[in-house]
């Protein structure tokens, strides 16, 4: 790490610690130009080794500039090579989120890399989260989870397993394609833990069984803005052939018909339509899969999930997609990235957060109605934004489109975020801005071209009679 990078890390930490705070956890998002291990070690040195700390190399950051005190969104190019000079990759920066959340217990649960294909470790990962929660809380499941998945791992089946095991009220957000190291906050693992050993790490927020009397409740809320638009007829997978460990070849037919589709002709027609519309859209298929979900009463019930796979090519009778896990008989639709859909969805997310703001203000007013300083109470403690790398100013043609739903609703609340390449979001449908509302509709937990908004609020304790 150069002196400039060292100074940048120190400067951010000093700004965060300029006001008295007793950290419960920390998340740092840094550019790839920083040395991950040294930056992580310096943060541990300054914040202490007894709290969970995750440091992640991101594709960009969202936050408040420490010098100008203004909100910024900064994406970093990923171009590299022997002819790229240091000045050409000048983007360096980091955003540091340090949390103090009394009334919650916060732990770091890792998911080990398997030595061979197996679901056993994923099952253990989910059970470790639930066992940790049971050990520190009277609640059966965490209030919230922020997680980072290794960039070489397919997080869709992992998050699907978590979705099945957790009640709907448990909010899960994160980066599905990360490059991270972490500190657990205890001595159960080494100080620096590398992603070569782990598929994912979950920062688990559980309600403290021994929360002091008179302390209110911290709540987690999540909503999203989607950036893909479905089109075309319902299709069904006739045959799925793995091309390698990362790609699949998919033969399909129209639902209700027998003949295999001419995939090559369809792809050429779609590309021609994109050219005529003067767009540079990315093409995906959204695959609906049969799954199970835990009901509010703790009973497993049938459900459906929606997983996205990017279409990267094909042959005369098959589509080639990034990813594996599609099964014969799965239904799917085509989706395309669309800035108009994303902009409209940002407006919907703004309205969801506006309604949440009114709800929180109403609850706080009722609980603080006899206090003289009730108007000075902040309903929202802060927030975190996970936004797709392909969004931002280049996608919308305007700045701060991704940030405004949170920042315009909660202008005084601290916010941090990152640009990533796979956005995890799962929570109650009432806030998730889902296109489908009935219980039989598929639910998506790992998104594409989306922006995820995590809001942390404080609800005061009820007044004594």
**Pair (310, 351) in one structural domain:** no
Cα 455 versus chain centre, distance:
13
Least confident of 79-88, 205-214, 257-266, 413-422: 79-88
**Tokens 């990533």 -> residue:** 420
**CATH number of the domain within which 277 lies:** 2.40.30
For residue 111, pLDDT over 70 is answered with yes
Structure tokens at 300: 């497993």
**Tokens 């990813």 -> residue:** 323
For residue 289, pLDDT over 70 is answered with yes
Q: What pLDDT is attached to residue 91? A: 64
Q: How many CB atoms lie within 10 A of CB 41?
A: 18
Q: What pLDDT is attached to residue 292? A: 74
Residue 184 contacts residue 201 (beta carbons within 8 Å): no
Cα 369 versus chain centre, distance:
36
Provide the mean pLDDT of the chain.
86
Q: What pLDDT is attached to residue 71? A: 87
Q: What pLDDT is attached to residue 391? A: 95
**Pair (276, 386) in one structural domain:** no
Q: What pLDDT is attached to residue 1? A: 47
Say if 150 falls within a structural domain.
no
- Its domain, for residue 300, covers 228-337
Confidence of residue 92 (pLDDT cuts 50, 70, 90): confident
Residue 75's nearest CA partner among 387, 317, 424 is: 387
H/E element holding 319?
Answer: strand 319-322
Q: What pLDDT is attached to residue 82? A: 37
Give the SS3 label for residue 275: helix
Confidence of residue 232 (pLDDT cuts 50, 70, 90): very high
Q: What pLDDT is attached to residue 367? A: 67
H/E element holding 384?
Answer: strand 380-388
Confidence of residue 419 (pLDDT cuts 50, 70, 90): very high
Q: What pLDDT is attached to residue 438? A: 56
Least confident of 41-45, 202-206, 311-315: 41-45
Least confident of 7-11, 26-30, 270-274: 7-11
Q: What pLDDT is attached to residue 81? A: 38
For residue 105, pLDDT over 70 is answered with yes
- Exposed, middle or buried by CB within 10 Å (0-12, 13-18, 19+), for 351? middle
Running DSSP on this structure, what letter comes out for residue 185? S
**Pair (372, 223) in one structural domain:** yes
Say if 223 falls within a structural domain.
yes
| Number of domains present in the structure of the chain | 2
User: How large a percentage of the chain has pLDDT more than 90?
Assistant: 62
Which of residues 337, 352, 374 is at a domain's end? 337
**Pair (364, 278) in one structural domain:** no
**Pair (326, 434) in one structural domain:** no
Confidence of residue 66 (pLDDT cuts 50, 70, 90): low
Q: Where are the alpha helices (DSSP H) in 173-287?
A: 263-276
**Pair (356, 282) in one structural domain:** no
**Pair (322, 345) in one structural domain:** no
What is the mean predicted confidence (pLDDT) over 103-122? 86
Which of residues 292, 320, 337 is at a domain's end? 337
Helices (H) and strands (E) in the chain, counts: 9, 23
Say if 14 falls within a structural domain.
no
Say if 168 falls within a structural domain.
no
Cα torsion through 64, 69, 72, 76, rounded to 10: -80
- Please give, one letter per residue, the 3-state secondary structure of 63-100: EECCCCCCEEEEECCCCCCCCCCHHHHCCCCEEEEEEC
**Pair (222, 359) in one structural domain:** yes
Cα 240 versus chain centre, distance:
29
For residue 433, pLDDT over 70 is answered with no
Least confident of 57-61, 226-230, 234-238, 359-363: 359-363
Confidence of residue 234 (pLDDT cuts 50, 70, 90): very high
For residue 418, pLDDT over 90 is answered with yes
Q: How many CB atoms lie within 10 A of CB 413?
A: 17
**Pair (313, 259) in one structural domain:** yes
Structure tokens at 35: 């040395």
**Pair (417, 368) in one structural domain:** yes
What is the mean predicted confidence (pLDDT) over 237-265? 92
**Pair (322, 364) in one structural domain:** no
Residue 68 contacts residue 457 (beta carbons within 8 Å): no
Say if 24 falls within a structural domain.
no
What's the rounded Cα separation, in Å, for the pair 88 and 33?
Answer: 12
Give the CA radius of gyration of the chain.
Answer: 23
φ, ψ dihedrals at 25, nearest 5°: -165, 165
Q: pLDDT higher for 1 or 124? A: 124
Q: What pLDDT is attached to residue 149? A: 97
What's the rounded Cα separation, in Å, for the pair 108 and 121?
Answer: 16
For residue 196, pLDDT over 80 is answered with no
Say if 449 falls within a structural domain.
yes
Residue 281's region, left for phi above 0, alpha for psi from -120 to 50, else beta, is: beta
Q: pLDDT higher for 355 or 365? A: 355
For residue 253, pLDDT over 60 is answered with yes
**Pair (317, 428) in one structural domain:** no
Residue 298's region, left for phi above 0, alpha for psi from -120 to 50, else beta, is: left
User: How large a percentage of the chain has pLDDT more than 70?
Assistant: 84
Confidence of residue 294 (pLDDT cuts 50, 70, 90): low
Residue 101's nearest CA partner among 154, 23, 175, 167 is: 23
Please tell me which of 20-34, 60-74, 239-253 the model is most confident about, judged by mean pLDDT.
239-253
Q: What pLDDT is attached to residue 83? A: 39
What's the rounded Cα separation, in Å, for the pair 368 and 363?
Answer: 9
What's the rounded Cα separation, in Å, for the pair 30 and 102?
Answer: 27
What's the rounded Cα separation, in Å, for the pair 129 and 116?
Answer: 22
Confidence of residue 68 (pLDDT cuts 50, 70, 90): low
What's the rounded Cα separation, in Å, for the pair 236 and 255?
Answer: 6
Supply the pTM of this predicted model. 0.90
Q: How many CB atoms lie within 10 A of CB 6?
A: 15
What is the mean predicted confidence (pLDDT) over 11-22? 75
Which of residues 284, 302, 337 is at a domain's end? 337
For residue 169, pLDDT over 70 is answered with yes
For residue 362, pLDDT over 60 is answered with yes
Q: pLDDT higher for 256 or 434? A: 256
What is the mean predicted confidence (pLDDT) over 131-156? 95
For residue 390, pLDDT over 90 is answered with yes
Say if 204 falls within a structural domain.
no
């Amino acid at each position: 790490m150069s002196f400039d990078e060292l100074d940048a890390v120190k400067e951010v930490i000093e700004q965060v610690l300029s006001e008295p705070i007793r950290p419960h956890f920390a998340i740092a998002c840094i550019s790839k130009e920083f040395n991950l291990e040294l930056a992580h070690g310096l943060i541990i040195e300054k914040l202490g080794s007894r709290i969970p700390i995750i440091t992640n190399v991101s594709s960009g950051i969202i936050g408040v500039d420490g010098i100008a005190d203004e909100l910024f969104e900064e994406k970093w190019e990923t171009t590299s090579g022997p002819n790229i000079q240091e000045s050409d990759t000048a983007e360096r920066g980091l955003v540091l989120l340090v949390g103090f959340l009394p009334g919650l217990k916060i732990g770091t649960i890792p998911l080990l890399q398997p030595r061979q294909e197996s679901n056993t470790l994923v099952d253990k990962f989910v059970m470790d989260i639930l066992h940790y929660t049971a050990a520190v809380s009277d609640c059966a499941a965490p209030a919230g989870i922020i997680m980072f998945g290794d960039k070489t791992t397919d997080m869709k089946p992992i998050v699907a397993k978590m979705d099945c095991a957790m009640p709907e009220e448990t909010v899960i957000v994160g980066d599905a394609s990360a490059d991270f190291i972490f500190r657990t906050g205890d001595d159960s693992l080494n100080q620096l833990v590398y992603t070569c050993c782990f598929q994912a790490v979950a920062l688990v927020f559980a309600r403290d069984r021994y929360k002091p009397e008179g302390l209110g409740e911290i709540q987690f809320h999540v909503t999203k803005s989607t950036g893909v638009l479905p089109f075309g007829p319902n299709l069904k997978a006739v045959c799925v052939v793995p091309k390698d460990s990362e790609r699949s070849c998919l033969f399909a037919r129209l639902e209700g018909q027998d003949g295999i589709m001419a995939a090559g002709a369809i792809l050429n027609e779609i590309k021609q339509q994109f050219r005529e519309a003067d767009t540079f859209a990315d093409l995906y298929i959204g695959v609906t899969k049969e799954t199970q979900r835990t009901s509010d009463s703790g009973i497993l019930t049938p459900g459906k999930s929606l997983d996205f796979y990017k279409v990267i090519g094909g042959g005369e009778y098959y589509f080639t997609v990034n990813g594996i896990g599609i099964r014969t008989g799965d239904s799917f639709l085509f989706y395309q990235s669309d800035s108009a859909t994303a902009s409209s969805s940002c407006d919907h997310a703004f309205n969801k957060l506006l309604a949440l703001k009114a709800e929180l203000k109403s609850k706080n007013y009722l609980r603080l109605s006899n206090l003289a300083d009730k108007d000075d109470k902040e309903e929202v403690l802060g927030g975190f934004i996970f936004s797709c790398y392909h969004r931002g100013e280049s996608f919308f043609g305007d700045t701060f489109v991704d940030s405004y739903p949170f920042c315009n609703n909660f202008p005084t609340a601290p916010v941090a975020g990152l640009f990533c390449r796979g956005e995890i979001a799962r929570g109650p449908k009432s806030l998730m801005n889902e296109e489908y509302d009935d219980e039989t509709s598929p639910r998506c937990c790992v998104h594409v071209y989306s922006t995820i908004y995590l809001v942390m609020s404080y609800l005061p304790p009820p007044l004594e009679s």
